[in-house]
Structure formats: structure tokens, C-alpha cells
Amino acid sequence: MGKNPTTMKRRPAKPTSTASRRSDFPANPWFQTSAILLFVFLVYSPSLSAPWYFDDEGTITENLKLRNMYGIRYIVADFIHRGAVQLSYALDWQLSERFGVYAQDASGNISARHATTIYHLSSIVYHLLNVAGVFLLIRKMMVLLRNRQTGESGQVDYQMVYLPPIAALLYGLHPINTEAVTYLSGRASVLATVAYVFGMWSLLIAAERFGLLDEHPEERSRRDRIIGTRVSLCTVACFILGIGSKEIIVTMPVTGVAILAPVAAHRLSWRTALRRLVPFCAVAGLLVTGFFAYRIQALGGIIGFEEAEIRPWWVNLLSQIGVISLYYLPRQLCLLPLCIDPQVPEIHSASHPNVIFGIIILGGLVFLAVRYAKRAPLVTIGLLWYFIALVPTSSIVPLNDLAAERHIYLPNVGFVLAFVAILGQWIEHLVRQRIRGRAVMAVAMVACTCVFVGALTVKRNLLYTDPIRFWQDTERHSPDNPRVQYHLATSYALRGIRYSDLNAANEAVKICEKILAKPERFSPRTSEYFGTTAMLLGCVYMRNFKEYDKAARVFEFCIEHWPDRSESWKNLGVCYLLTKKFDKAKELSDRWLEREPDNVSAKLLVANSLFMQKHLGEAETRYLEILKTHGEITNALDNLSNIARMKGDAGAAKEYEARASASRRSESPGAPGEPPRSFEIQANEF
């Protein structure tokens, strides 16, 4: 039986099909997503060795709720206070414990403090989730916007293949996102964006499955409706997750309507689109109302924090117009350097130049949104996302800081979407005009942009690894900022204390004296840094230079102006003991106990003074009273062990040593990255 000649002719076509699949390989969504995530991870990998910054100690290392199941139950019960963020920190804490990821001191000895590696790795993973979510969300929007464009299917397919990965890559590499990702206390913005992006993606899938974006939704199958119901529940779950992440989640239902409206109007008539959107608007209204009702019930008010009284709402609004247009936008375009603690002016007049220029710039963005509403709905959707997501942090609600780059992490999704959509329109124009070398021009421009923003992000993450260089760079961009100067002085002091670096200690002293020379610069919100700076200066004098008299004068100044700070009393007492001014130590302890009769540190000061004067019987009596009243105090146990050894009672000395070791193990580890504020008198110092 002979072979079919038709079959013989078709066989040579197989290699052509293989070549076609190979040529389509870069357009494969799985390949694109994997390549993007790998590239973004490599760009952020230097941050794995970055230390703690700003509020990280109080938020993470000193947060006892993260360390056991009882604390985790408390976090879940108080979920509205960013419970999802604290649960993520608790997971990092447990992983650090499980894998033994601890910090080391200058001598290489392992301390009880966790290193930051696991925490930074988690933040990068959450950021990668957002990058993947941006890719999926934009791809889904472009699929839904393909309707009525069958005649231009080639161009639409071309954009759908390349615009989502370009947008996801630019978002993942954008340097302004570094603060939210690398600064660990900024994780609230990252987790809120995870909920936001995947909530919008599931919302579009639900709308598609229910057929609400089609002319004939009744033709949908039962399977589609079941899937649509399940995906709708995922959207609600994302909103609930966002409630425990950051208050900005309140805008998520509004953004959902803002996305569905242009998509529905593009696929349907305006009348039909409005009618279809009524149920979504009702659900969005219920979610927003429920969010505010929950906050009122849990916090006693809509805002729930003291920042609401920082400045008048109209001053905040005028100031934010300048912040958005003259601070955020130039940095989103990578035109100006980044700063973790920027100084931006408060504006009290509508005639201020920042307000005028800001209105012009924001008006230009509104013009772009209107102009591209029909031709390129993605531009309109992106700009709507941008403005809606900015409302909680950049409108009439006063926050402690007028500008913070981590606040732009979520709005930046919309900005990048609008930017890439306009870029796609420009590339499409090149294709239509048949401009010579159009493909080379487009690829070169995209590649140069990605390399440029990626290099900026790598540089920023490398800067985070060195606290002194980081705060020096911050001071250059935010001069005369007392908070920045304090943190720079702290970084120098830490280096001086840990590595016995007198040059670093001298720099810390210079900066502290510079800050204290101009107390008028401190506002009521930053006055705490004045006292903390003075405390730091005294610690450097005491620890690095052994100049106890100078340190004592600084601590006396602190007690005079901030008498409620126990560290000042404790450190002053240590200075008196180390200089053998026992009369002053006794006088100080009397004043301290008069203010706080049950203060254990004041009682220890008395006992330590007696111990140093070799009044061993009286000192032992005092230490035993402290143990009876306040439990196992390590300092008292150490010195009792020393007294027992001096008396020749080896058995009692060993017993006290064992109790001191047990007490030391049960104490919470200190906050890494924070200079010691006080120094106890230990037995091994004498």
C-alpha cells in the first residue's frame, strides 16, 4: 500500500513549526515572569545585608508580641493595628530562630540579636509578588480591552505581549520603591499593595466570568458563575488582608470601580456600562462603610492616631499639592535623588509658587487622562489609580511627615502603568509611520530605561548597607534636619563603641554638639531627638573617652530638661560611681527615689554605691531586698555572687552565678543598632 502524497508534502513543515515556537519563546508569559523576577531579585539582593534603620528596633526587635504564640494571638485579636504586617514580622522572627540567623559583634562573637537577612529576604519576596501581580493585572486588563479591535489585532497582540512585562519590570526596578522594600518598617506599604493588586486582578476575573463586561451576560455557563463567585470571595479576602496591612486599603473598592468603568465603557455602551456598574458601586460602598465602622468601633474614631491634629487640613492639602508635583513626580521620573527623611515646606497660602506649579502639573496629568480615555484606556486607568491611591496620605489628613517615599509604593503601580501605556502609544506611532529602524529605537529605549532605573536601585540598596554613608547621603539631601543628624551621630557612636574607633567617636561628638547648639530648630514633634542626642553625647563621653565629668554634666542637663527619662538618672549615677563620688550618688538616689519610690535602678544605685565602698554587709542586704521585691535582677545577682566569693562562700557564689545566668537567658535581647543608653555596674568591672 503506497504512502499518501499529501502526507509526504506536509512532513517538511515540522521544522518550520519548531522554529516558530522558538521565536515565540521570549513572548511566553511564564518565561517573561521568571526572567523579570530573577532580575528584580538580583537588583535587590544587596539589601540582604542592610542593618536596622529608624523605627525598626521598636517595630521589630523590641516587639515582644512577635516572639511567642501568646503575642501572636494578641496580634490577631488586634488585627486592625496592622496585624498582617506584625504577623509577617513574627514569621521572620521564628525563621531567624529556627535557622540560627544571629548578629555578630566586632570580635565575631554571636549575640542574642537577630540579623536582618531573613527579614530583608521576606520583604524582597513580597515585592516580587507585587511585580508578578502587576504583570498579571495589566495583562488581564489588556485582554479585556481587546474587544472591538479585531481590525487592529496585530497591533493589540504586539502590545499585549510586550507592554505587561515592561511595566512589571519597570515597577520592580523603580528606585523610589526601595524605601518600602529595604526599610523594614515600610513593609506595610508592600503588603497593602499585595492585597491591592491581587484584589484588582481577581475583581477583573470575576467581572469577566459573570459576563458583566459582555453584551449578553445571560449566556455565561454555570461553571463561569461558580468560578466568578469564588474569585469574588478572593477579592473580599484581599480587602480584609489589606485592613491588617495599611489604612490605604480603604481606596481599593474605589479603584476597582475606576478600573471597571473605562473597561466597561470600552466594551459596552455608556448606558449599559453604568447600569452594569451599579452592583459594584454598591458593594464598594458597603466595603468602605464597613471599613470605617470597624475603625470607629476598634479605635473610637475614623483616624485613630494623634497625627490628625498636627496641622490644619487646608494647610496639609496645599502642602501636599507641592509634595506630589514637585517631590514625588520628579523622583518617579528619576530626575532627583531619593531621601528617606526629606524636608518639605508647609504651605499656608494658595498663592505659594509650589501650589501654582503643582496645580499646573496635576492639571496636565488630568488632561492626559481625559485625552487618552478612548484611544488608550490604560493611561486613564493608571492615572486614576495614581490619584485615588494618593488620597489617604496626600490630601487633607495630616500625617507626621509631609512626604515619605514609601507612601508612593502603591500609587507607583498606576504611574508606571500610565507611563508604559503612553510608551506603547509612541511605539505604535513609530510602527504606523514606518519610521526606519523603529524596532531598534524601541528596544534601545526600553533597554536603556531598565538599565538606568536598575542601576539606581542597586546603588540605593548598596547605600543601605552602610549606615554612616546612608545618613551622610541623607544629610546632603536634607540639611539641617535634626532627626537625620541624630541618626548620623548614632551611626558614628556605634562604630566608635563597637570598634573602639576614636575618630568615629569624635565625629559623633561634633554632630551632637552641632545639634544641641541650635535647640530652636526642634519642633514639638522632634523635641525628643534633642534629649536623645544629649543622651548619646553623654554615652560617647562615658564609653569612648572615659571623660566621666563631661558625661555627668550632660546627664545633669538631661535630668533638668527631661526628668522622666530614667536613662539620664541611671547614667549619671554610673558616672558618679566610676569617679567615686559616692556622696553625689547617694544624693542622686534620694532625689530619684523621691520621684519614683519603687524604681529598681535607683535602688541598685544605692546598693552598688555601698558595694564599691566595700560595705559588703549593707550592700548584700540591699541586693536581697531588691531580689525579694523585684524578682531575679541580673545585676544584683552578679554582685551578690561577687560578695559571696569575697567572703569565701564558694557555694553561694556558684548559686548566684547560676541564677544570674538563668535570668540573663530569660531577658529579651537588646535592640541591635542602638547605642547603649545606660551602663550597669557589674561585678566584673571591679
Domain ranges for the chain: 186-461, 467-546, 557-686
Do residues 140 and 197 lie in contact, with contact meaning Cβ atoms separated by under 8 Å? no
Count CA atoms closer than 13 A to 103's CA, side-chain side: 20
3-class state of residue 110 by DSSP: strand
| pLDDT value for 228 | 87
Q: What is the mean pLDDT of residues 430-438?
A: 63
| Separation of alpha carbons 588 and 351, rounded Å | 56
| Separation of alpha carbons 6 and 640, rounded Å | 101
Minimum mean pLDDT among 102-106, 273-277, 294-298: which range? 102-106
| pLDDT value for 486 | 84
pLDDT, tens digit (0-9, with 9 covering 90-100), for 528-538: 667 777 888 88
Do residues 511 and 492 lie in contact, with contact meaning Cβ atoms separated by under 8 Å? yes
Top CATH class of 557-686 equals mainly alpha
| Separation of alpha carbons 487 and 550, rounded Å | 22
Assign 475 a pLDDT band (cuts: 50, 70, 90): very high
| pLDDT value for 18 | 46
Minimum mean pLDDT among 59-63, 340-344, 412-416, 586-590: which range? 59-63
| pLDDT value for 668 | 45
Longest dimension (CA), the chain: 119
Assign 88 a pLDDT band (cuts: 50, 70, 90): very high
Do residues 246 and 191 lie in contact, with contact meaning Cβ atoms separated by under 8 Å? yes
Residue 656 has pLDDT above 80, yes or no: yes
- Terminal C-alpha separation, the chain: 107
pLDDT, tens digit (0-9, with 9 covering 90-100), for 536-570: 888 888 888 888 888 898 888 888 888 888 888 99
A 10 A CB-CB count for 351 gives: 8
| pLDDT value for 300 | 62
Q: What is the mean pLDDT of residues 606-633?
A: 89
Do residues 153 and 143 lie in contact, with contact meaning Cβ atoms separated by under 8 Å? no
What does pTM read for this prediction?
Answer: 0.83
Residue labelled with grid coordinates 494623634 = 306
Minimum mean pLDDT among 98-107, 309-318, 401-410, 499-508: which range? 98-107
Q: In angstroms, how far is CA 126 from the centroid of its own chain?
A: 11
| Separation of alpha carbons 231 and 221, rounded Å | 15
| pLDDT value for 138 | 94
* Mean pLDDT (the chain, rounded): 82
Residue 526 has pLDDT above 70, yes or no: no
